[in-house]
Amino acid sequence: MKVTSCLIIALSMCMNVPAQKFVANYDEAKIPAYTLPDPLEGISSAADWPTRREAIRRLIAKEMFGHVPSHTATLEIVPDTEPFKILDGKAIVSQPAIKIAGTTWDLMIIRPANPSSPPPAFIAYNFGGNHTVIPDRGVRLPVSWQRKAKNHKAQEADRGSSARRWDVAALMEAGYALVTLYYGDVDPDMNDGFRDGVHAHFGVPKSDEWGSIATWAWGLSKTLDYLVASKIVDAERVSVLGHSRLGKTSLWAGANDERFALVISNNSGCGGAALSKRAIGETVGRINTSFPHWFNGNFKKYNRNESAMPFDSHMLLALIAPRPLYVASAEQDRWADPHGEFLACVGADPVYRLLGTEGLPSRKMPKLNEPTVGRIGYHIRSGKHDVTAYDWAQYIAFANKHLN
C-alpha cells in the first residue's frame, strides 16, 4: 500500500494535478482536543524563571524560528546629512543607513522637532519601503528586492500608499519617535533558498537555524544597537511593534532581546500570538506550505501535527515577561484566530503573575473595542486584518502607562 501511495503521488506530480485545496476550519466545535504545555513546569519561584525562560527560548528557536548562526558581521553607520521637517515643522525626518553583511538598510526616524530630551520610540518594519509610510519626496526609494512596486515609476506612484497605517501625527503629538525600515532590505520575503539579503553573507541555514522571521528579528536588534549608540532616541524606552508576519517578528525580537522595553503584536496569527494547537484559521501546515522560508526546517515536522508540538504561542508570549506585552486582534481577521490570540495571553498570564505583575486582568474574551489592560494588554477591534488609528491609540496609551 505504501508503494502504491507513493506511485500515485508521483504520477499526480508529473501530470501537474493541483494539490488538494486547503479548507480552513472556523468552527470552534471542530477544534481538536489539546493540552497546552505549562510554561512554569518544574519551577515555583521567580528566581527559577531565568533558567526556565532560557530553556523555552532555546526550544522555540530550535523547533520553530531557528537559531542565529555564529557570525562576524560588522555594523557600519552612514549618517544622514540632510534631515527635513514635516507636519508643519512639528517633526523632523532623518535617514541614516546601516551597512552590514553586504546589505544596506535605510532607516527612517521621525521624531518631534524640539524635544527636551531624546524621546521614547516605536520601532517597526514596513512592508513596502520607507517612502510608503509618508508621501514626502525627500524619503529615499528602496533599491533592494521589492514586494510590490518593481520600478522607479511605480515606486514614485507608491509614495504614502501605506500612510493610513502609520499614525505619525498622533505619535508626534504624544512625544514619541517612529523608527522604521523596509524588511526587504534585511531579507527578501521569498522562497529563494536563502541566497539573498544577509543570507548571502552567512550562507544557507541548517535545519535548526534562522528562517526569514528570525532574520528580520535579528535586524531589529541590530537597529537597536544603532539607536543605543546614536542616542537619537531614548533607547531604554523602545517599543517594538509588528503587523501580521512582522507581528510574529516583533514577538521573536522581544523574546530574544530584552532591551526592547515593550512588545506589540498586531494581528500576528499562526506562528505569532495565536495558539497553533487549535488548528483554526491558518494552520502550521498551511503557513509552512505557503511561506516555507519564514520558519526553520525543523518546524515542518509539525505540519498537520500540531499536537506533537512541545510548546505553543503562550510560551512565546511568556518570554516577554515581565516586560509589557500588547496583543491585538481584529473581528474580521478569522484567519489569524482572534480567540486563539487571546487564549495565548491567558496562557502567558501565570508567568507574569509569578514575576510580581498583574498580568492579564481578565480571563474572559473582551467585547469589541473594549481593551483589557494590565501588564499584558489585549483588544479585539471591529474591522479587518490591518493597522488602524484605533490600534495606535491603544499602543500609545499602553506605552504611556508603562514607560513614562
Q: pLDDT tens digit string along 299-345?
A: 999 999 999 999 999 999 999 999 999 999 999 999 999 999 999 99
pLDDT band at 100; cut points 50, 70, 90:
very high
Asked whether residue 239 is domain-assigned, the answer is: yes
Nearest to 375 by CA among 294, 318, 295: 318
Q: Does residue 328 form part of some domain?
A: yes
* pLDDT tens digits for range 377-402: 999 999 999 999 999 999 999 999 99
Position 126 confidence tier, pLDDT thresholds 50, 70, 90: very high
- Average pLDDT for 231-242: 98
Q: Which residue in the list 244, 250, 276, 313 is annotated as catalytic?
A: 244
Report phi then psi at 315, rounded to 5.
Answer: -75, -35
- Residue numbers of the domain that contains 216: 46-403
In a domain, 275, yes or no: yes
Position 398 in a domain: yes
Residue 192: CA count within 13 A, CB half-sphere: 15
* DSSP conformation class of 161: T
For residue 282, the model assigns a pLDDT of: 98
pLDDT at 11: 35
Residue 325 pairs in a beta bridge with 263, 376
Give the Cα separation of 143 and 161 in Å (integer). 18
**H/E element, 285:** helix 284-290
Distance from C-alpha of 142 to C-alpha of 156, rounded to nearest angstrom? 11
In sequence order, the 6+-apart residues with CB closer than 8 A to the CB of 30 are none
Is 67 an active-site residue?
A: no
Which helix (DSSP H) or strand (DSSP E) does residue 110 occupy? strand 103-112
CATH of residue 157's domain is: 3.40.50.1820
Confidence of residue 72 (pLDDT cuts 50, 70, 90): confident
pLDDT of 14 over the 60 cut: no
C-alpha cell at 186: 534585511
Residue 231, φ and ψ in degrees, nearest 5 = 60, 20
Is residue 8 predicted with pLDDT exceeding 80? no
Would 234 be classed as within a structural domain? yes
Region 37-58: mean pLDDT is 98
For residue 179, pLDDT beyond 50? yes
Q: Of all residues in the chain, what percent carry a pLDDT higher than 90?
A: 90
pLDDT score, position 71: 79
Q: Average pLDDT, stretch 177-200? A: 97
User: Average per-residue pLDDT in the chain?
Assistant: 94
CB-based contact 403:177 (threshold 8 Å):
no
Burial 73-96 (b: 16+ CB within 10 A, else e): eeeeeeebeeeeebbeeebbbbbb
Report d(CA 74, CA 335) in Å as an integer.
40
Q: Looking at the domain assignment, is residue 87 inside a domain?
A: yes
Kindly indicate the confidence band of residue 52, based on its pLDDT and cuts at 50, 70 and 90.
Answer: very high
Q: Are 98 and 110 in contact (CB under 8 A)?
A: no
Q: What is each CA distance from 360 to 45, 78, 342, 346, 366, in whole angstroms?
A: 19, 42, 10, 7, 11
Question: What single DSSP character describes residue 32?
Answer: P
Closest by Cα among 386, 388, 273, 381 to 326: 273
- Torsion-angle region of 300 (φ positive above 0: left; ψ -120 to 50: alpha; else: beta): alpha
20 band by pLDDT with thresholds 50, 70 and 90: low
What residues contact 374, with CB distance under 8 A and at least 6 apart?
A: 352, 357, 358, 359, 360, 361
State the Cα–Cα distance between residues 320 and 209, nearest whole angstrom: 21
Give yes or no for a contact between 63 and 309, defined as CB atoms under 8 angstroms apart: yes
Distance, in Å, from the CA atom of 194 to the CA atom of 197, rounded to the nearest integer, reads 8
* Distance between CA atoms of residues 254 and 326, nearest Å: 12
pLDDT above 70: percentage of residues in the chain: 95
Q: Is residue 261 part of a domain?
A: yes
CA 90 – CA 32 distance, rounded (Å): 53
Give how many domains the chain has, as a whole number: 1
- Terminal-to-terminal C-alpha distance of the chain: 65
Q: Is the residue at 227 inside a domain?
A: yes
